[in-house]
Amino acid sequence: MSTTFTLDTSTSRANPTPAPMKRLTVPAIQRRKFEGKTEEPLVMLTAYTARQAQILDPHCDMLLVGDSLGQVIYGLPSTLAVTLDMMIAHGAAVVRGSYHSLVLVDMPFGSYEASPQVAFASASRVMAETGCAGVKLEGGQAMAETIAFLAARGIPVMAHVGLTPQAVNALGGYGARGKSQQEHAKILGDARAVAEAGAFALVLEGVMEELAVAVTESVDIPVIGIGASARCDGQVLVTEDMLGMFDRVPRFVKRYENIAETIDGAAARYAAEVRDRSFPTEDQVYRPKK
C-alpha cells in the first residue's frame, strides 16, 4: 500500500504551505551547471519528517531523505541496518511536507547492489510509494551499469562517490579519501563513470579538496560536496549536525545553531514547573463558560 496521502489541514499540526511554490525538477537542477560552471551553488539538506521538510523547503533546492536517519532518528551505530521500509516511510513524509525542493531518497544498503534488476525493483517502489523525484545510491564505476539501467527506465539517479558510508567496513573507517595518487585516480574515475552512465548529479563526500575541485571540473553534472570544497556546484549537510543536535560531528560540519541546548533548557523549565505545580496555569485549563 502506498504511504502517500493528503494531510487534513483542519486537524493536523503539519499544515501544508498555504501558497505552494513550484517544485524544482531534475532538468532544472541539471541546468544550474552550464558549460562546466554553476553560478549559484545548489543548496541541499537532509530531512526525515514532514515538519522538518516544511521548515527547510523554502531555503533549499533539494531535500535528501538520507539513510543517515538510521543514526540520527533510530540511534543505530551505522547506516547498514536501515531498511527500504524505513526510507519509504520517511521519504513519503518529506514529500508531503515540501512543495519547492526536489526530494531524493537514499537507497539503503542491500537494496540495489545485487543487480540492476534488483535496484530497479527497489527504486521503483521508492518512487511509487513516496512520490519523490529520484533516488541516491552509493558507488562509482561498479554501479555505472545499474545507474544506466535505472536512468534508461525513467528513474533519476544521484550518485555518491568518495567516502561512501555504506562501505565503511571495507574502507576501514570514515577518514578522508583521495590522499594517495591511486585513490585520487580511482575516485576521479568513479565520478566520470557515474556521470557517463546517466546520473543527473553526484554527492562527493569526505575527499581532499584538490580532488574535489578536479572532480567538479571534470564532469558536466552538478557535484554536491560534503567535506569536499566550496568550489563544488553545491553543498549538503545532515541538518541535525549543522543545528548542533549532537555532541560529536564530523570535522567538515559547521554548526549554525545549538538546538540541543535550547531543547535541554526548555525541557528543564517544563520539568521544574510541573514539579512545583506552576504548570498548567489558567491559560492552559478548561473551565465552564460563564
Does 205 qualify as catalytic in the annotation? yes
| 136 is known to lie in a ligand binding site | yes
Q: Which residues pair with 46 in a beta bridge?
A: 64
- Cell matching residue 133: 523525484
**Residue count (the chain):** 290
Query: Regarding predicted confidence, which is higher, 9 or 233?
Result: 233
- Look at residue 290 in the predicted model and tell me its pLDDT: 79
| 254 is known to lie in a ligand binding site | no
pLDDT band at 177 (very low <50, low <70, confident <90, very high): confident
Reply yes or no on domain 26-284 having CATH 3.20.20.60. Answer: yes
pTM of the model: 0.91
Task: Give tens-digit pLDDT for 37-90.
Answer: 999 999 999 999 999 999 999 999 999 999 999 999 999 999 999 999 999 999
Report, as an integer, the average pLDDT of 107-134.
98
Q: Nearest-CA neighbor of 254 among 236, 231, 273? A: 236
Q: Which of 23-27, 175-179, 247-251, 264-268 has the lowest mean pLDDT?
A: 175-179
- Look at residue 42 in the predicted model and tell me its pLDDT: 98
| 106 is known to lie in a ligand binding site | yes
Query: Regarding predicted confidence, which is higher, 169 or 207?
Result: 207
| 78 is known to lie in a ligand binding site | no
Which residue bears the cell 558536466? 220
Average pLDDT, the chain: 92
pLDDT band at 3 (very low <50, low <70, confident <90, very high): very low
Which residue bears the cell 546517466? 198
Q: Catalytic one among 39, 113, 129, 205?
A: 205
- Look at residue 174 in the predicted model and tell me its pLDDT: 57
- Look at residue 1 in the predicted model and tell me its pLDDT: 39
Cβ atoms within 10 Å, residue 238: 22
CA terminus-to-terminus distance, the chain: 50
- Cell matching residue 246: 549532537
SS (H, E, C) 207-226: ECHHHHHHHHHHCCCCEEEE
Task: Give tens-digit pLDDT for 188-208.
Answer: 999 999 999 999 999 999 999
Helices (H), the chain: 26-31, 50-56, 69-72, 84-96, 116-130, 144-152, 168-171, 181-197, 209-218, 239-242, 259-275
Beta-strand pair 37-38/33-34: antiparallel
Which residue ranges make up each domain of the chain?
26-284
- Look at residue 175 in the predicted model and tell me its pLDDT: 72
| 196 is known to lie in a ligand binding site | no
